[in-house]
Structure 1
Amino acid sequence: MKGVLMQDCIHHRSGARFEPGTCEGNCPVCGAIVGAPPGSPTTSHQAAGSRDTCPGSGSPAV
């Protein structure tokens, strides 16, 4: 990322904590990272290597 130094990243700060609730969830069917928090409906997406909509679209993210 242009203009961003590694020390600016929150993961490199002293005292930064890992907060699982702020992470993106995964599709329960194909495992894709869907950009929805766990428990929220997954976005419409395609499984890797497929042209069809994943049957897990709309299911709660895990």
Structure 2
Amino acid sequence: MNKIIFNKKNLRSHSEINGDRTNKRNFIKRIVEFYLIKNAVSVLQDKYKCFNKVYGLRM
């Protein structure tokens, strides 16, 4: 019983596992990008007080 039988079910489960991993990675990337953008906007708002009025960004 040591043989691994690659049937459709096994392949599907393996791809699902990989999919979960990539989804997590993309999710983390998205969060990081969001925080970087938010940080950049806040820095700009500190430099130029009219930035918020001009672009209508509500953070």
Note whether the superposition's TM-score is higher than 0.5: no
Q: Smaller-chain TM-score range?
A: under 0.3
**Greater RCO, CA 8 A, separation 6+:** 1
Instruction: Give the number of the structure whose alpha-carbon radius of gyration is greater.
Output: 2
TM-score normalised to the size of structure 2?
0.23
Higher helix share: 2
TM-score normalised to the size of structure 1?
0.22
